């Protein structure tokens, strides 16, 4: 085990202990965790290796693909537009994207896109990973597709399509991609080390993602073998693996649902921005009312895609999952966050005044609530 570096404020020693335990007992390769409390950094730790050969130590500024932890960041862009009066979350998507009205989708709202309730978990044609790199192709396929269920009645996790749907709305409103809008309005002005996709000049800082061969007895394998057509359209069209995210083609693409690259420090900062002035160190980018709207639950239900992974009903707000009765993000039911494929996560709890970012490169087999995540969240709350 490589040495853990960074700082940990007095009173937060349990977080360091839990982080180190992830290396000793939970198979960590390289990772970082960051906690902000009251607008200041109280934990910023990193350790392990940035590559499977263990030749590159994980550094303070190592970047890694955080998979679906990106979704909360993309949702932030939509909420900033709504807060500035440029986007009506309750208006039909067709108002800004006319082609979207095809195949019975004329009444689907931006709110339903943000809450995974649009019924568009994926297009009805077979896709390859290479197809995801063609933005116009994928958004046109989604615009032509009919919903898999009646929009607004249930959530069904839009694993890949979410970024194209919300990202295209952002592009139609601003004339810029979600990644460009994020850089211009949030990460650039605030100096947050996070991009959607990865610029070529940052390749040297990127960690190598690693996944074990799929264990047929794992939770992931069990759930994947039981997927119906809706689940397959979300998680299996196409199937994406760690090896894809290590390619230059993946890094150069903008996939606002799944290929944000950043540090744990950056993830914690972005989820703090999404929480609004409750966590802001300075003037908030998002107003209090907009931040409250972002975590408005849209109704508990058994998610049509990830219901088995959560073991019951859950509730998605406008871009993130609520902690809820399963305590996915700690004891506050209205805390919110988003897990990334393999174990990363970002979260914020405005009532507790905290945000957390966790990134890693050895992907686990849990579709949600990786044991490393749970251990870190428990440790943070034990320190409050």
Task: State the chain's mean pLDDT as an integer.
Answer: 95
Q: Which residues of 305-335 are buried (b: 16+ CB within 10 A; e: fewer)?
A: bbbbbbeeebbbbbbbbbbbebbbbbebbbb
260: β partners: 196
Whole-number percent of the chain with pLDDT over 90:
89
Domain boundaries, the chain: 5-61+216-243+263-383
pLDDT at 218: 66
Averaged pLDDT for residues 245-250 = 98
Which is the catalytic residue, given 18, 34, 41, 68?
A: 68
Please provide the distance, in angstroms rounded to a whole number, between the alpha carbons at the two ends of the chain. 28
Whether 1 shows a pLDDT value over 70: the answer reads no
Q: pLDDT tens, 265-321?
A: 999 999 999 999 767 767 789 999 999 999 999 999 999 999 877 778 999 999 999
Averaged pLDDT for residues 46-56 = 97
Closest listed residue to residue 315, CA positions, set 332, 298, 327: 298
pLDDT at 215: 66
Whether 122 shows a pLDDT value over 90: the answer reads yes
pLDDT at 369: 86
pLDDT at 3: 87
pLDDT at 298: 97
**Residues in contact with 301: Cβ distance below 8 Å, sequence separation at least 6, in sequence order:** 154, 155, 313, 314, 315
Whether 225 shows a pLDDT value over 80: the answer reads no
Rounded Cα distance between 52 and 155, Å, is 37
pLDDT at 63: 98
Averaged pLDDT for residues 225-231 = 84
pLDDT at 227: 81
Rounded Cα distance between 203 and 253, Å, is 13
The CATH class for the domain spanning 5-61+216-243+263-383 reads alpha beta
Highest mean pLDDT among 230-234, 257-261, 369-373: 257-261
Averaged pLDDT for residues 204-230 = 79
51 band by pLDDT with thresholds 50, 70 and 90: very high
Residue 68 among the catalytic residues = yes
pLDDT at 187: 96
pLDDT at 219: 62
Q: pLDDT tens, 79-108?
A: 999 999 999 999 999 999 999 999 999 999
Averaged pLDDT for residues 184-189 = 95
Per-residue CA distances from 101 to 88, 94, 107, 126, 183 (Å):
17, 5, 8, 22, 30
Q: pLDDT tens, 321-357?
A: 999 999 999 999 999 999 999 999 999 999 999 999 9
Whether 236 shows a pLDDT value over 80: the answer reads yes
Rounded Cα distance between 297 and 79, Å, is 15
Per-residue CA distances from 256 to 43, 210, 358 (Å):
27, 21, 18
More confident residue, 295 or 226: 295
Question: Which H or E run includes 195?
Answer: strand 194-196
Whole-number percent of the chain with pLDDT over 70:
96
pLDDT at 366: 79
């Amino acid at each position: 085990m490589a040495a853990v570096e960074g700082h940990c404020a007095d009173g937060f020693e349990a977080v360091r202990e839990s982080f180190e335990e992830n290396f000793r007992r939970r198979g960590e390769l390289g990772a970082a965790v960051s906690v902000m409390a009251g607008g200041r950094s109280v934990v910023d730790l990193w350790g392990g290796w940035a590559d499977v050969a263990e030749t590159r130590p994980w550094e303070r500024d190592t970047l890694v693909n955080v998979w679906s932890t990106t979704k909360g960041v993309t949702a932030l862009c939509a909420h900033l537009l709504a807060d500035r009066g440029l986007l009506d979350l309750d208006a039909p998507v067709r108002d800004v994207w006319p082609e979207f009205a095809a195949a019975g989708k004329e009444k689907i709202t931006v709110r339903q896109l943000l809450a995974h309730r649009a019924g568009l978990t994926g297009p009805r044609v077979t896709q390859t990973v290479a197809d995801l790199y063609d933005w116009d192709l994928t958004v046109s396929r989604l615009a032509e597709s009919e919903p898999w269920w009646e929009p607004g009645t249930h959530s069904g996790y839009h694993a890949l399509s979410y970024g194209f749907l919300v990202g295209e709305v952002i592009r139609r409103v601003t004339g810029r991609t979600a990644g460009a809008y994020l850089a211009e309005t949030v990460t650039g002005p605030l100096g947050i080390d996070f991009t959607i996709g990865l610029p070529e000049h940052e390749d040297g800082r990127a960690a190598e993602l690693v996944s074990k061969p799929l264990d047929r007895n794992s939770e992931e394998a069990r759930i994947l073998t039981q997927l119906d057509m809706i689940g397959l359209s979300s998680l299996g069209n196409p199937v994406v693996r760690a090896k894809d995210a290590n390619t230059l083609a993946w890094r150069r693409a903008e996939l606002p649902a799944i290929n944000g690259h950043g540090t744990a420090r950056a993830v914690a900062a972005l989820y703090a921005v999404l929480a609004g002035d409750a966590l802001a160190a300075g003037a908030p980018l998002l107003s209090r009312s907009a931040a409250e709207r972002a975590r408005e639950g849209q109704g508990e239900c058994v998610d049509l895609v990830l219901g088995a992974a959560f073991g019951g009903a859950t509730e998605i707000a406008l871009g993130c999952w609520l902690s809820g009765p399963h305590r996915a993000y700690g004891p506050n039911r209205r805390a919110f966050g988003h897990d990334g494929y393999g174990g990363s996560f970002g979260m914020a709890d405005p009532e507790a005044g905290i945000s957390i970012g966790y990134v890693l490169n050895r992907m686990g087999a849990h579709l949600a609530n990786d044991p490393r995540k749970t251990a870190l969240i428990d440790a943070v709350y034990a320190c409050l």
